[in-house]
Amino acid sequence: MLDTELKREYQQFLQEHNRGKADSDGRPDRSPDEIARWAVDHDLPEHPLSGRGYDSIGCWPCTRAVGEGEDARAGRWAGMDKTECGLHL
């Protein structure tokens, strides 16, 4: 588990380019390569599902592995008529 200081540093890294922008939607302004490089530079382990085809990881009921040639987020909400997750009981 990440300690509080490292979490704060990561959030600052993700949002660095969004600071002061009135139209920022809060999503990270970093490429996947920049994020991966940051993780390596900070000695973070790879998520165990990343090597198994889960390029975008959400909640258990709404996530599946991504197939060859599919967009990284194709495994999110697959077969569902939605683009954002809700609460699951």
pLDDT at 89: 42
Quote the pLDDT of residue 65: 92
Distance from C-alpha of 74 to C-alpha of 17, rounded to nearest angstrom: 27
Ranges of each domain in the chain = 1-17+27-45, 49-79
User: Catalytic residue among 85, 86, 87, 89, which?
Assistant: 85
Mean pLDDT of the chain: 80
Active site residue 59: no
How much of the chain exceeds pLDDT 90, in percent?
10
